Amino acid sequence: MSLSVNGSDQSALLLQEFIKGNETFQETYFKKHETQLLNLVRNGQTPRALFIGCSDSRVIPDLIVQTRPGDLFVVRNVGNFVAPYKPDEDFHSTAAAIEYAVGVLEVSEIIICGHSHCGAIEALYKSSCDTSMIHTAKWLTLGEKAKAMALIALGTDAPREELLRTTERLSIVTQIENLLTYPYVKKLADEEKLFIHGWYYDIETGAIEYYDPDTYEFRPLSELAE
């Protein structure tokens, strides 16, 4: 196996940007918040929520809700999907994060946050997939239920963008259903010791909607403050 340290000229320029960015971080943000950040080192983390979001580079959890270091325990994956509970000893990254957040960190909230213009959801509507991407193809099947629901609700002749936006929202609901297959999550949720939220982030406006299970609708997050 070979590893390139210096890389191409383009790679070197990018690394220089990262290096400069880290230096700026140390000189500004870290210095300004040094007491708080060192407290997190000494006392450990006590995040209030597990945030399950998409790996999309345009969706940055701490940025869109303006949280501080230590507030969110974050797991990001393609499509902000949650695979159903499977009690085996295989490798389950998202499941491990859920287990750790609930069992060790004892978070009181779990947020599953989808977003507009999601590439994972768009891929569900493509007629062909690169067969060499076996892990991606398997992972995307976690969005198929939402796609089927959207097609039933809107019909196959619905405008593509409307289908995509609807599927993105319905996927959040189906991922919550998958989350509730985890016995320890379901138990704490039933006891009202753990609260589960479905959010939809609009990357064109910066606004967030939340899923209201009583009305089966996504509503402006700002309404929760009223």
> Six-digit token pair at 22?
């880290």
Element (H, E) at 170: helix 160-179
Distances from the Cα of 203 to the Cα of 23, 56, 59, angstroms:
29, 11, 7
Provide the residue-wise pLDDT of the chain in tens; the chain has 226 residues: 555 555 688 999 999 999 999 999 999 999 999 999 999 999 999 999 999 999 999 999 999 999 999 999 999 999 999 999 999 999 999 999 999 999 999 999 999 999 999 999 999 999 776 778 999 999 999 999 999 999 999 999 999 999 999 999 999 999 999 999 999 999 999 999 999 999 999 999 999 999 999 999 999 999 988 7
Strands (DSSP E) contained in the chain are 49-54, 72-77, 109-115, 195-201, 208-212, 217-220
Question: What are the tens digits of pLDDT across the range 142-153?
Answer: 999 999 999 999
Q: What is the phi-psi region of residue 17: left when phi exceeds 0, alpha when psi lies from -120 to 50, beta otherwise?
A: alpha
58 part of the active site: yes
Does residue 9 carry a catalytic annotation? no
Question: According to the model, what pLDDT value does residue 114 have?
Answer: 98
Instruction: Please give the pLDDT value at position 9.
Output: 86
Q: Give this prediction's pTM.
A: 0.93
113, 118, 165, 169: the active-site residue: 118
**pLDDT at residue number 199:** 98
Catalytic, out of 9, 42, 48, 54: 54
Among the listed residues 113, 115, 165, 169, the single catalytic one is: 115
Q: Which of 9, 42, 48, 56 is catalytic?
A: 56
Q: Map tokens 């902000």 to a residue.
A: 80
Reply yes or no on whether 130 is catalytic: no
Q: Indicate the CATH number for domain 46-225.
A: 3.40.1050.10
**Residue ranges covered by each domain of the chain:** 1-32, 46-225
